[in-house]
Structures are given as structure tokens and as C-alpha cells.
Structure 1
Amino acid sequence: MGRLFGTDGVRGLANRDITAELALNLSVAAAHVLGDRGDFAGHRPRAVVGRDPRASGEFLSAAVIAGLASAGVDVHDAGVLPTPAIAYLTAELDADLGVVLSASHNPMPDNGIKFFARGGHKLDDAIEDAIEAQLDAQWQRPTGADVGRVVPLTDGPARYVAHLVSALPNRLDGLHVVIDAAHGAASIVSPQAFRAAGATVDVIGADPDGLNINDGYGSTHLGMLQSAVVEKGADLGIAHDGDADRCLAVDHTGAPVDGDQIMSILAVAMREQGTLAHDTLVATVMSNLGMFQAMDREGITVRQTGVGDRYVLEDMKAGGYSLGGEQSGHVVLLQHGTTGDGTLTGLMLAARVRATGRPLRELAEVMSRLPQKMINVKGVDKNAVEANEPVQAAVAQASQELSGTGRVLLRKSGTEPVVRVMVEAQTPEEASAVCHRLADVVREHLSL
């Protein structure tokens, strides 16, 4: 059996991979492991639990809450809120841990369980392994007054929105923004935050029914937002994913602005404001080569990490850096949050547009993206990628072909059962041809 935790918690098909039993047992194990680390002795441990609007989140959050309370943890039930809101509230309430039920950008049938430690920080691998090892351990159940109590966290949204608005360097008055909430966890709080900051807001994809999350809307489906921005004559559009830890954008012409462009814009802005610690941006190996070239021209250092915002965060905290993220739109502003926050990122991007008076399209020209092609290869043994000689030989050959003009990245996904093949080259045709060739090699040699 492989490791239970992936790059972003435990994720899979709800009620088959992610069951109520697993949710309950994991929450008990997390209470014990994080309890030991948080020195629960002498006080009642507390947790904040939230979820995205998936139908399965209703019974999974109930199971998590039951597990925590049975282990003697008092629970603040925050209901439907973005993942970064739960991280913030865990810190704000000085809770011992936080739990989020969400599969982020994945389709509705999936769900996931993600934990935060005290302070709203993601767990490192060693702590996740300790939680997994604790699953089958014997434990003494509290009884009577020692069991945990459960209370609704009714002011959670208001606390979170106030935090977001207070982080802005300037207001958004006069700016017209369209928000696509992906029928997800930010359907209410993101529009509230933008309006509180002074923007005129139109909203799409904000009618979650438990079944429509990420379905045709949000950061993985920008078409509806592109049309809405142009139709309404807005200055820009902001797209979230299901749990709103991501932000992608659309300029006034409907052109997409990805996470690399957003990070580049914010890096230049923060460097000008003196808030870009060590004049350094932390990004993953998936970021476009054009971003690295642009930041070099701007005198900004870029550090590379493995894929996953948790690894970006680890590097940021270790080096004292203030900005990092991923091409997918996970952007971490460490001065204001402990994890990627799509609403905060969108607000900061809009604030830069408002402060400069320049359209987002012009700001995004700080970098030129090299043509990039990515294929997610399904039905293969993703764990055999690094050890398979024919696959690695094909990667080496393609890398040599593109030396100096592009690059190849082939890796297993940490959140989905796929192998990701990514190629950058001087032309879209070259990137596509090399990417498809490598994908065929992966299918041939790693098929299940």
C-alpha cells in the first residue's frame, strides 16, 4: 500500500476512497499527533473544521467533527468556507488544528481531507506520516465532560473578509471586476471582499448546489469568465477553484493571465514597495521559462521547488521569503497568510491595476510566456516514472533537442492518478510535437 497523504492532503473518490470511516479515524489520529506536538495537556484542545460545497462534504465533515469530539477536541464548525479561510481562522482563534474537506479543483465526485497545525500551517511529511501511523493505534476514549463540544463558527466569514480587506495596500474604488467562484467555497466571501474594498462586482459561478462545483466554471474553465468580462466591459476577471486557494485572471480583452504572470506582476509591485523579501520569488519547476527570464531582467531572484504549494511554503519559511506560488494560481503572500489564497491574490492583483492606472493586459506584459504544452497521461503506473529506463531515455533525448531554447518536465501527479508531461519550446508546434511524442512513450512503457 502506498503513502496515504499526497502533495495536498488525502484525496480520492468520495465514499469509496475517502469514506466516513477514514475521515473519522484520520481526525482521531490527527488529534493525537497534533495534540502531542501542541502540548494539549492542561487545556481543552480546539479545532476549526470547514469544507467546500460538495455533497460528500456534508457527511465527511460530520465524520471529522465526530472523530475530533470523540477524542476530546472542542470543534468550531465553520461550514462552507475557502481553504485559506480555515487556515486563517485556525491561527486567529489560536486553535490547535484545522481541517478542510475539499478536493480543490478536482471534479465533484472527489473529495479530500487536509489538516493544518497550530498557526494555520500545513503539515510536513513527517507529521503526516505520524498521523498515518497512528490510524491503527489503541487509545483511551474520554467520557463524560471530557468529550469534545461542537459549536458553529457563525462569524467566520466576517472575520475572514475583514482580514482580506485589511491586507490591501490601496482600495479598489472605480474598478469593475467579474468574479467566477466555480460554484465553490468562495461563492459568498470573495464577492463580499471585493465589494468591501470598493470594487464594482459582477459574479458568475456562484450558485453551488453540492453537485456543480468546478463544472464549466472556475480556474480550470475560463471560457465563461472570458465572455462575461468582455460582455460587461469589466476591467478584469478573477477565477477561483473549488476551495478558492487558487486565482487565475482575465484581462479586459478576455485574454487569460496565469499564475506565472500574476506572480511576476506582484513581485515587481512588492519590490517597488519594499515588501519583496530578499528580492526573491519562490516558484516550482512547473513555472514557465519566460517567467524566469523576466524576473532576471527585473533583478529578482527566482528559487525553484518541487510541485505543490506546500513545498513553496517550506522554502519560503526557511529562507524568510514573502512571495511564492505556482503557475496554476496558488500564490502565497506570507505576510498575510500561511497558504495559497485565491481571493487575497485576486485582491492584490486588482489593487495593482488600480494603483498604477494601467490595464491588466499591459501589466502582464512584464513576461512573455514560452509556448507550453502539457498532457496528463492516464491509465499508467505513475510511481514507475523515475525508474523506467525507456521513459527516462526519451526525456533525456528531448531535453537535449531543446537545450537552450526550451525544456522538458515529466513527473507523477501528487493529487491525481496521472503522469504529467510538460514541454516548453520556441513554437507551439514544436512544444506539442515533443510533448505528444513523450506521452506516447509513457503510455507504451507504463500502461497498467
Structure 2
Amino acid sequence: MPVTLNEAKNNATDDIDVQVIDEFRKESAVLDALTFDDVVNPAGGGATLTYGYRRLVTQPTATFRALNTEYTPSEVQSQRYSVDLAVLGGSFEVDRVIAKIGPAASGAVALNMAQKIKATKTRFQDAVINGDVVDGTDADAANGFDGLNKALSGSSTEFRPTEVTDWSDFDTNPASAQVALDALDEWLSLLDGTPTMVLGNTKALARVRALARRAGVYTRNPVEGLMGPGGRPIVRESYGDIVFVDPGDKAGSSSPIIPIETRDPDSSTWTLEVTGSPTGGTYTVSVTIAGNTQTTSGIAYNASASTVQSAITGLSNVGSGNATVTGSAVNTLTFTGDPADAPVTVTASSAGLTGGTSPGVTVTQSGDSAVSGLTDLYAVRMGLDGFHGVTTVGGQIVSTYLPDFTTAGAVKKGEVEMGPIAVVLKATKAAAVFRNIKVQ
């Protein structure tokens, strides 16, 4: 039966587990709102922890028909996906000497437990946004699951992927706030229902908060049954009925999970033109992506577009399939894939060209150059037909293991663990991403 973390407390066999579940709910609005479908049967002694599903990628259609005619058939399109459930958490150690001091032992354990809960929920939320088991940059990414950034790239609910939306200043030009509010509503309308929450970093949500206040729909609502320090209720901020949530910084770092970056959103196009009518020799092309510069080997003065493309995509910072070159006398270079959003600089050296009159290579950029201070917002509709979690049949979502000071050994270990769990997106229109919002 599908469960939330709040309902999972009923299955906990230890009072400590119940307290830890509440701490996860306090720390993470995402975990608090997720429904976990407990359907994966770990057959073969846990060897199979895969959840297969179909993601709806188009909406159904309906039409009028004339009498004595048939409807034109049209089917909902879906794609098959699968996700492997993952386990995450952490451990800590406490020396047994601490136990002899009395209250200090429980204090040390409680402190470490609280910090492990914080780190675990942060790592989970990082995977919800940035998870990529194939191309993830984190060392443990291959052991996790794919997140929203990957699922929504190139989808119908990826909003303004090739342009900049400036929300950096609503005060100097008050009318810009109304334009921003219209853009926010236009983006949210891409979903197939009212989203449960909007996720963004601190600066992005400050702009959402400002828009909600201007529209008179900003609210702060307490969460029933959850109390914070000093007995004060845990509250969630909302844009109307839509909760907005900051997933925080990456575990063990001050870098936000949803980054603020310098990007080249329109993936600027470059032209390469060999000038001066050389009759021999070669030239080289240097590509700098996010500060990493690589240079091709010599390219013949009269090389075809495909040869130039092969030389550029052969660079380690570009990669196969991430750039295209077209044209003959003048080559047009366009970056795709991951390099498309990064700051890119292209230069060329004509030192190897011979013959002709002052042979050279002219490099020209068209489109916008890199823009700093850009970030994204994510919106999700939680539900078993939208965005939800997955866990095992009858399994515990959260487990704790306290240090045992009654056994031999000088150093005792404690652990906090979530899983096996994963998240899935059942319908593309159950989530959306607003790209390239300038917040600073």
C-alpha cells in the first residue's frame, strides 16, 4: 500500500525510528510530501531492486465527427523507463569512554544522529534534482537514481531553455514584477494539474516570494503534528496553494543543490572561415568550455565540414555528438548536449597555413555570450500518476542503528539509512523546469 513518511511511522518498530522519521519530515518538505509506492519485491535475496514503469509523453485527444463516419484513431504515447532502488545514509563513531561520562554519551549520539539525518535528506534532495546514474559528477551518482533535471531536459515542460529571464531587480522597474508573475503562471500552466511544490535555491525563491506578496497570495502554514525547536510549529511557505521549497546546499558543502551559474543559454553559434586563399598547411581550433581549454590537431586548409566536426568533437571537453559543423567555404559550428549551456569560447590558430596572401582563420560568434547569475526553478505534482517515490514491499523507508556500548570494542558505530528507495516521473507534464532565470 502506498505510504507517506507520516504513515510510515505506523510501521516503525522502534521509538527512535519514529523520532528520526519526524526529523526527516521537519528537515525536508520534499520527503514529507512524497508518496512511496511500496511495490518492489526484492526477489533473489535482494538481487532485483528494479521498478519498471511507463511515462506518458503525450496527452490524449478528442474530436467531433460527422454522422456515419469513424473517429480518426489516436493513441496516448508513452515510453518505458526503469529505475533501480538505491540505499543512502551514513555512519558515525563514538568512543566508549564517552559512555562512562553519562549524559555526554547521549548528547554525542544525538548530535551525530541529527547531522546524519541532515546530510542524508540533503543527499536525497540533491539526487531528486541532479541525479544522473550515467553522467553524474558525484562519486556515488552511479549508485543513485535519475532526477528531474535529466528527466525534463528536452521535454515539453522545459520552459525557456534557450533564453534568459531577468528577475534580478523588481524594484527599479516595478512593471517587471508583473511580467515576471505572468511568466511564472505561464510556466506553471504547462503542468497537467496544480503542482504540489516549486523547488529553487534561496535567491530564486526570494524572487518567487516577492512575486507572491505582490500578488497577495503569499502564505505561511503550519504542518500538523510537527514541532520545531522551542515548541514552535514547522511552517511551509506557499504561493497560493503551491508550497515552495529550497532543497538546500549539497551535503558537506556550501554550494546550492540548484546552482547559480554562468551559462550560454542559446548555445551560441560560431563561424569558422579560412581566409587569404591558402594552398596548403593546417590550422587548429581551440575550444574553452567552463574554463577547460582543448586544442585540435592540425586541420587541413581545405578540410570538409565533417572533418572539422570530427576534430572538434574529438576534444575531451566537447565529446562525440556535442557539436555540429556545416557549410563549405564558411563552416558553422553549433554546440549541443552538455556544452550547449556552458560558457564557450572558440579561437583558431592559422600558423600552419601556407601559400595565398596572409592566410588566416576568422572566428565569429553569433547569439548571446555567456550570462552570469542564472538558475532554474522546478515544479512537481506529487501523486502515483505523477511524481512519487518507490520502495520495497513491507520495507522500512528509514532505519536507525544506535551504538551499542555493552559489547566489546573501543569505538562504537551508529548509522542512519534510507531505502531502498527511488523517485519516478509517471507523466512528463507532472513536472516542469523554468530555465535560465537571472537572479543576480
The TM tier, using the shorter chain, reads under 0.3
**Relative contact order: is structure 1 or structure 2 higher (C-alpha 8 Å, sep ≥ 6)?**
2
User: Hey, which of these two has a bigger chunk of helix by percent?
Assistant: 1
User: Hey, which of these two has a bigger chunk of strand by percent?
Assistant: 2
TM-score scaled to structure 1, two decimals?
0.22
TM-score scaled to structure 2, two decimals?
0.23
Larger Rg: 2
